[in-house]
């Protein structure tokens, strides 16, 4: 009886402090519905409470997802559940006293033929406001040769309110189940957006942009369940739209920053002459997908597979990408103590190519008067900057894996596996990356008092993703140019084109080791030690090596001296070291 | 070769006790400390014979090596009691304290804390 009361009370408190970061550690789980045989027609709890807050300093980290900006809040919570004649229901309502702190759920089950549920939850998300004070810098060249900023709403406190309404219904007719679901996610509030004017100065301008985002998802499908065969088809239709107004900015006049001559317009696509232009515009997105799943089981063996086709479209720009892929898994037991598992997956991503029509302005004055930038430097550039953007996202990965599982002793299981992955990219300069993976894993229980688990994995990667010629330009001009003319010295495009070093953050070899040991000397004490280690390196770059090493030991303890108290404690340490080539440019101009 | 090292330490403890058949007391602690720092950043502004033309600040200043250094400590305390006054009526009391101490601010200091007191009653039916 006491444990029942404790569970209900502790669950009530846990729900009321749901928004607190320690809520996950409150001592009791949510109350489970009562056993069917003893279930009354209705039972539940009703709670009333009040909270008082005292805050100090910035709340954007310590209370990033909590309501703490009220002095006091009244909260209410109600749970109701029951069952009668095959009709089961479960209702939860939690209101933390603020529209940003709500959680409601209701579900019904009518003789396992019709199941329906609806949920709604809301929470706040505080967002940072960058003061931009640190960006400013000056120069001795005169004019507007400076770095500066403007924050158009310096007192703003940014926050987004997240809301999620979700509902679904399942109708089961013998072996066939039809399901239908709808979800509506909303994000309201405001956040900070920025833009930069170039040439005349480096001028960062920050604005407040309102959130009015809505994401709707409709899911429909059917599931066939026979004794040895199951199949499911799901159609998903999702759209996203942000109806919040875009801030408008008039960019600075693109003049030479030191002399203020109006000779730099051909270096930009727009300046103050274009008037007010929108900043930070989010396009409407539409996505639909078709997914087919199937599974065949014969005795202890099984064969399963998934095929998905999805289309995602930027509605405003009429751009789209397509995903088409499938995977399959075969599991075959060999006798009572061995098994083989094989996986295969292949998919393709195809993104529309885009013709980018660059607005090529002509300089109003100076040596390049009447000329576009390519016309002013005909030996350095093609006749136009217009180009076709082919997507580096286009790829066709193929994955294959096989695993042998054995049971060499009672309560001891070992797995040996090999995996292969090949990623072929249609346009990116790294056309193909291949990965070979070997692993050895296992778990064992010794004398019912010691549980162990481990995994050792090694990966060898050929041609990992990287950025070719990303850093270290050749030293083409070691001394400053004479005079103030921008045309007498090294041009930045020449410097960028002379970069030599390839850079990456992906390894050519990676080793991963993890282990866990739990000792349970008696029913009231359990001690777990765990360790995780990963070492990754890339020694195939042309100018440098890259490496990342991380290790993480830890220990957990659970102790219950008697029925009156229990203690849980733990500690985890993690250290990660990254080594890479770091290159900064010494270029002024 | 430059590098970037980061560390994190996390500890937690929870105690749940039933001093009497009508009372439950609980307390939880969560603590986290994290650091990050650039390593082997071997630039020396003194290697440049003169300040870069046109700039009124050193291109490679001493502060660059520590620009991305981070250090913060976060602590959360949560404690309370549930007491059964009568068969259907239970009183709940909870106190939460949380502090984020930003010892090495990046763009701006995000140090802050809050305390929350909660009192309520639950009717079981």
For chain A, give the mean pLDDT.
90
Handedness of CA A357, A363, A364, A370 (dihedral sign): negative
Whether pLDDT at A448 is above 60: yes
Domain termination site, one of A100, A121, A142: A121
Which are the contacts of B107, defined by CB distance < 8 A and separation ≥ 6? A128, A130, A131, A134
- With an 8 Å Cβ cutoff, is A588 touching chain B? yes
| φ, ψ dihedrals at A575, nearest 5° | -130, 130
Q: What was the pLDDT predicted at A37?
A: 55
Q: What was the pLDDT predicted at A136?
A: 83
Residue A510 resides in a domain: yes
Write the DSSP string, B53-119: TTBSS-SS-GGGGGTT-EEEEEEEEEEEEEEE-SSSEEEEEEEEEEEEEESS-SSS---EEEEEEEE
Q: What was the pLDDT predicted at A12?
A: 37
Percent of chain A with pLDDT over 70: 91
Buried b (16+ CB within 10 A) or exposed e, A398-420: ebebebebbeeeeeebbbebebe
Q: What was the pLDDT predicted at A515?
A: 98
Percent of chain A with pLDDT over 90: 77
pLDDT in tens, A263-321: 999 999 999 999 999 999 899 999 999 999 999 999 999 999 999 999 999 999 999 99
Judged by CB atoms closer than 8 Å, whether chains meet at B82 and A10 is answered as yes
Q: What is the pLDDT along chain B (125 residues), one digit of tens a residue?
A: 888 999 999 999 999 999 999 999 999 999 999 999 988 876 665 555 555 555 555 555 555 667 788 999 999 999 999 999 999 999 999 999 999 999 999 888 999 999 999 999 999 99
Question: Which residue did the predictor score with more confidence, A383 or A584?
Answer: A383
pLDDT in tens, A222-250: 999 999 999 999 999 999 999 999 999 99
Residue A280 resides in a domain: no
Residue A506 resides in a domain: yes
Q: What was the pLDDT predicted at B16?
A: 96
Residue A421 resides in a domain: no
User: Is residue A376 within a helix (H) or strand (E), and if so which, with residue range?
Assistant: helix A373-376
Question: Which residue did the predictor score with more confidence, A325 or B49?
Answer: A325
Judged by CB atoms closer than 8 Å, whether chains meet at A566 and B15 is answered as yes
Mean pLDDT of the A450-469 span: 96
Judged by CB atoms closer than 8 Å, whether chains meet at B82 and A6 is answered as yes
Strand partners of residue A118: A106, A167
Taking CA–CA distances from A24, the nearest residue in chain B reads B28
Predicted confidence band at A561 (pLDDT cuts at 50, 70, 90)? confident
Across the A:B interface, residue pairs with CB atoms under 8 Å apart total 240
Taking CA–CA distances from B56, the nearest residue in chain A reads A139
Rounded CA-CA distance B34/A574 in Å is: 9
Q: What is the CA radius of gyration of chain B?
A: 25
Mean pLDDT of the A501-520 span: 97
Rounded CA-CA distance A105/A94 in Å is: 9
Residue A524 resides in a domain: yes
Domain count, chain A: 2
Contacts of A9 in chain B (CB under 8 A): 24, 82, 84, 90, 92, 122, 124
Handedness of CA A147, A152, A157, A160 (dihedral sign): negative
Q: What was the pLDDT predicted at A63?
A: 96
How is residue A35 annotated by DSSP?
Answer: P
Q: What was the pLDDT predicted at A146?
A: 82
Contacts of B18 in chain A (CB under 8 A): 2, 6, 563-565
Name which of B18, B53, B113 is nearest A56 (Cβ-Cβ): B113
Q: What was the pLDDT predicted at A10?
A: 39
Judged by CB atoms closer than 8 Å, whether chains meet at B11 and A545 is answered as no
Domain termination site, one of A97, A121, A145: A121
Whether pLDDT at A56 is above 60: yes
Q: Which two tokens stand for residue B34?
A: 């994290």
Taking CA–CA distances from B86, the nearest residue in chain A reads A5
Question: Which residue did the predictor score with more confidence, A447 or A145?
Answer: A447
Domain termination site, one of A93, A121, A149: A121
Mean pLDDT of the A339-346 span: 98
Given the structure tokens 């933390």, which residue do they identify?
Answer: A96
- What ipTM was estimated for this complex? 0.90
**Residue-number span of the structural domain to which A7 is assigned:** 1-121
Residue A254 resides in a domain: no
Q: What was the pLDDT predicted at B53?
A: 52
Taking CA–CA distances from B101, the nearest residue in chain A reads A62
Q: What was the pLDDT predicted at A484?
A: 61
Contacts of A47 in chain B (CB under 8 A): 92, 120-123
Buried b (16+ CB within 10 A) or exposed e, A436-472: ebebebbebeeeeeebebbbebebebeebebeebebb
Which are the contacts of B52, defined by CB distance < 8 A and separation ≥ 6? A480, A586, A588, B59
Which are the contacts of A4, defined by CB distance < 8 A and separation ≥ 6? none
Residue A472 resides in a domain: yes
- With an 8 Å Cβ cutoff, is B60 touching chain A? yes
pLDDT in tens, A473-484: 888 877 777 766
Residue A126 resides in a domain: no
Q: Which of A28-42, A417-431, B32-46, B88-102 has the lowest mean pLDDT?
A: A28-42
Rounded CA-CA distance A161/A456 in Å is: 43
């Amino acid at each position: 009886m006491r444990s029942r009361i404790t569970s209900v009370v502790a669950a009530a408190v846990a729900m009321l402090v749901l928004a607190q970061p320690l809520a996950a550690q409150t001592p009791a789980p949510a109350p489970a519905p009562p056993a069917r045989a003893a279930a009354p027609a209705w039972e539940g709890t009703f709670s009333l409470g009040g909270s008082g807050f005292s805050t100090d300093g910035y709340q954007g980290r310590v209370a990033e997802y909590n309501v703490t900006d009220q002095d006091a809040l009244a909260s209410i919570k109600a749970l109701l559940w029951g069952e009668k004649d095959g009709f089961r229901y479960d209702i939860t309502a939690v209101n933390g006293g603020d529209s940003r702190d709500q959680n409601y759920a209701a579900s019904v089950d009518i003789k396992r033929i019709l199941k329906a549920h609806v949920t709604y939850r809301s929470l706040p998300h505080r967002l940072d406001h960058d003061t931009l004070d640190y960006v400013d810098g000056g120069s001795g060249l005169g004019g507007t040769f400076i770095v500066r900023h403007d924050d158009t709403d310096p007192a703003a406190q940014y926050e987004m309110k997240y809301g999620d309404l979700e509902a679904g219904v399942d109708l089961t007719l013998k072996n066939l189940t039809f399901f239908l679901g709808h979800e509506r996610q909303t994000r309201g509030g405001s956040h900070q957006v920025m833009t930069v004017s170039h040439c005349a100065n480096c001028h960062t301008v920050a604005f407040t942009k309102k959130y009015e985002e809505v994401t709707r998802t409709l899911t429909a499908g059917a599931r066939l369940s026979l004794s040895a065969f199951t199949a499911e088809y799901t159609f998903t239709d999702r759209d996203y739209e942000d109806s919040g107004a875009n801030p408008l900015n008039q960019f600075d006049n693109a003049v030479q920053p030191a002399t203020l001559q109006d000779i730099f317009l051909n270096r930009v696509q727009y300046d103050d002459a274009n008037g007010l232009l929108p900043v930070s515009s989010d396009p409407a997105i539409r996505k639909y997908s078709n997914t087919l799943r199937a599974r065949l089981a014969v005795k202890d063996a099984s064969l399963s597979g998934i095929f998905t086709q999805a289309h995602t479209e930027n509605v405003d720009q009429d751009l789209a990408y397509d995903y088409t892929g499938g995977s399959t898994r075969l599991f075959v037991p060999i006798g009572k103590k061995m098994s083989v598992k094989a996986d295969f997956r292949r998919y393709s991503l195809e993104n529309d190519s885009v013709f980018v029509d660059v607005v090529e302005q002509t300089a109003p004055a100076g040596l390049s008067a009447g000329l576009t930038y390519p016309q002013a430097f005909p030996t350095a550039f093609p006749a136009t900057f217009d180009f076709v953007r082919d997507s580096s996202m286009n790829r066709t990965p193929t994955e294959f894996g096989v695993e042998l599982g054995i049971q060499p002793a009672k309560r001891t299981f070992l797995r040996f596996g090999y995996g292969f992955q090949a990623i072929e990219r249609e346009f990116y300069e790294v056309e193909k990356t291949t990965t070979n993976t070997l692993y050895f894993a296992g778990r064992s229980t010794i004398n019912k008092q010691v549980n162990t688990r481990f995994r050792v994995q090694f990966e060898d990667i050929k041609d990992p993703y990287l950025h070719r010629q990303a850093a270290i330009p050749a030293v083409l001009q070691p001394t400053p140019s004479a005079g103030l003319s921008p045309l007498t010295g090294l041009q930045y495009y020449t410097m960028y084109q002379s970069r030599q070093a390839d850079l990456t953050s992906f390894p050519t070899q990676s080793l991963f080791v993890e282990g866990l040991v739990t000792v349970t000397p008696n029913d009231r004490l359990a001690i777990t030690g765990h360790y995780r280690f990963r070492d990754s390196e890339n020694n195939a770059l042309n100018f440098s090596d890259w490496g990342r090493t991380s290790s993480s030991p830890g220990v957990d303890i659970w102790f219950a001296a008697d029925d009156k108290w229990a203690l849980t404690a733990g500690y985890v340490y993690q250290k990660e070291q990254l080594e890479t080539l770091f290159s900064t440019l010494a270029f002024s101009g | 070769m430059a590098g970037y090292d980061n560390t994190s330490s996390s500890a937690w403890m929870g105690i749940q006790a039933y001093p009497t058949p009508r009372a439950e007391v609980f307390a939880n602690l969560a603590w986290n400390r994290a650091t990050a720092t650039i390593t082997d950043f071997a630039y020396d502004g003194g290697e440049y014979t003169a300040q870069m033309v046109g700039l009124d600040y050193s291109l490679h200043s001493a502060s660059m090596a520590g620009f991305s250094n981070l250090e913060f400590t976060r602590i959360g305390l949560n404690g309370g009691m549930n007491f059964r006054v009568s068969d259907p009526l239970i009183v709940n009391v909870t106190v939460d304290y949380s502090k984020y101490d930003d010892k090495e601010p990046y763009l701006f200091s995000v140090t802050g804390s809050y305390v929350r007191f909660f009192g309520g009653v639950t009717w079981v039916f």
